[in-house]
Each structure stands twice: as structure tokens, then as C-alpha cells.
């Protein structure tokens, strides 16, 4: 069974402790999100899970067959056009060039890019388009596990919804597992099976919230209702410092 298991994870930068005793397991087909205020060590945790940083203490065991990463910023190669950017991951995975280009074109169309955009360089794309390309680059690999680092935070609501719909579609077909960090509670509620609340200084998990309703059955009413509920929670108020002073 594919899974990501984090055990007793601790991490420090110099003398500053960033993460303390983090434990969780992400099973195949699950969406797990980590919410918490900015600067709380979320990105560090995600980088440790994705093997972009070396684990200092504790363990991260990733048995998913494949994974890919979508960053908060698009991080496209400025000297490559849209299609070449999308195909990078495929080429790195050993695809033949022609196949990689073909797959990339298919997914680009699915992500709302148009044929006339294919030859454009990133400098000629809007922020939203760049993020579409970045998503396409991550998902064209059909990863078993997807790491998302607040990828929706800079997008307008329309595009946010569009990309989330694509993800929800994949989730309901059990095609993908997602580890997702965000500071947006509504986003987390819409997408996750489980939400971990990460409190800062040093980052540690204070609470878990679980949602059993399948993602494609969650409507706006559900999201608003759950958000309202979660915002009453003492730990949430404390972690996000929501209390009126």
C-alpha cells in the first residue's frame, strides 16, 4: 500500500527550532492538508516530505510510486516556451521527446491554455496562465502523490475554482493523493479528507479535523458551514490569533 509516513520529525535552522515532533500518515487516495499561519514552518514541512530538504531528526517514509510538486509561484524556465516547460517533467522521467510534447499539448488544452499560447515564453503569460502551466507540468506526470505549496494563493476566484474542480475530479476517481499546505481554511475544507492544524514557534500539530463527505459532493453551503464551525474552535482562534484584542 502506498503511503507517506512522517514520524517524530524535528527540524531546526541553526538554533531556531522550526518543527517539533510532527507525526502523520497520508494514505493512498487521501487528501491531507496542513493549515497554519504564515511563517509557521509549513513550507519547511512540505519540503522535508518532498525530499527537497534533508531530514535532521525523525523519519519521512514515502512509498508512493511517483510524486510531483506544484509551487506557490509558477517557477517556469523563462527560456522555454509553454509546451517545453510542461514537458520538462516527462523528459526527466525518461519519455521520448515526441511523446512528451504530445502529452503536454493534450494537458495544456485541458488546463484552459490555447493553441496560440503554446509557443509563448513565460514573460508573455499572465500570472494565472503561468500557474496553469505549472499545474499542467505537475499533473502531466500523473503523479500518485501531489505536493501543493499554496498554489492557489495568488489566483483570482474563477481560476482557483477551475483548478480545484480539476483536482476534485481526480480525487473522486481516486487517481491521486495530495499533501497540501495552505493558510486558507475554506480551501482546505473544500479539498481535504483531513486537516492538520500547525501552530508556530516551533511548528507542532495541535489538532486534527476530519471530513468524510466526498469532495465532489461538497457544495458552497457545506464549505461555509464547516468554515463557520471551525472558526469557533478554540485552537483555531488561538493558532491564527483571531481573538479580538
Q: Which is nearer to another protein, 11 or 204 (CB)?
A: 11
**Minimum distance, C-beta of residue 140 to another protein, in the bound complex (Å):** 11
Give how many residues touch another protein by CB under 8 A. Answer: 21
The region of 89-97, 169-177, 182-190, 219-227 touching another protein under the rule CB under 8 A is: 89-97
Single out the residue of 2, 5, 73, 233 in contact with another protein (rule: CB under 8 A).
73
Q: Give dist(CA 179, CA 94) in Å, integer.
A: 25
Single out the residue of 60, 88, 154, 237 in contact with another protein (rule: CB under 8 A).
88
**Pairing of β 16-27 and β 3-13:** antiparallel
Q: Are 64 and 1 in contact (CB under 8 A)?
A: no
Which residues within the stretch 136-195 sit at the binding site for another protein (CB under 8 A)? 137, 147
- Specify the DSSP element, H or E, that contains 210: strand 204-210
**What are residue 235's phi and psi, to 5 degrees?**
-65, -40
Residues 6 or more apart in contact with residue 76 via CB below 8 angstroms: 85, 122, 130, 133, 134, 137
The region of 7-15, 75-83, 154-162, 189-197 touching another protein under the rule CB under 8 A is: 75-83
Site of interaction with another protein (CB under 8 A): 50, 52, 68-69, 71, 73, 75, 77-80, 88-89, 91-93, 121-123, 137, 147
Amino acid at each position: 500500500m502506498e503511503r507517506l509516513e512522517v514520524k517524530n520529525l524535528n527540524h531546526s535552522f541553526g538554533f531556531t527550532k522550526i518543527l517539533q515532533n510532527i507525526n502523520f500518515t497520508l494514505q493512498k487516495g487521501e487528501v491531507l492538508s496542513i493549515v497554519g499561519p504564515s511563517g509557521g514552518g509549513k513550507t519547511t514541512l512540505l519540503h522535508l516530505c518532498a525530499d527537497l530538504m534533508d531530514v535532521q531528526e525523525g523519519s519521512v517514509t514515502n512509498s508512493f510510486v511517483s510524486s510531483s510538486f506544484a509551487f506557490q509561484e509558477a517557477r517556469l524556465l523563462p527560456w522555454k516556451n509553454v509546451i517545453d516547460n510542461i514537458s520538462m517533467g516527462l523528459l526527466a522521467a525518461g519519455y521520448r521527446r515526441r511523446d512528451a510534447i504530445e502529452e503536454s499539448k493534450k494537458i495544456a488544452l485541458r488546463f484552459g491554455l490555447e493553441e496560440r499560447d503554446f509557443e509563448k515564453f513565460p514573460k508573455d503569460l499572465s500570472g494565472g496562465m503561468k500557474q496553469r502551466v505549472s499545474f499542467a507540468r505537475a499533473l502531466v506526470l500523473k503523479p500518485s502523490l501531489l505536493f501543493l505549496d499554496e498554489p492557489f494563493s495568488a489566483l483570482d476566484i474563477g481560476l482557483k475554482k477551475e483548478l480545484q474542480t480539476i483536482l476534485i475530479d481526480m480525487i473522486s476517481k481516486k487517481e491521486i493523493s495530495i499533501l497540501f499546505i495552505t493558510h486558507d481554511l475554506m480551501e482546505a475544507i473544500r479539498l481535504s479528507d483531513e486537516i492538520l492544524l500547525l501552530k508556530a514557534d516551533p511548528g507542532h500539530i495541535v489538532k486534527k479535523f476530519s471530513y468524510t463527505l466526498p469532495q465532489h459532493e461538497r457544495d458552497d453551503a457545506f464549505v461555509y458551514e464547516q468554515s463557520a464551525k471551525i472558526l469557533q474552535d478554540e485552537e483555531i482562534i488561538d493558532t491564527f490569533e483571531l481573538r479580538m484584542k
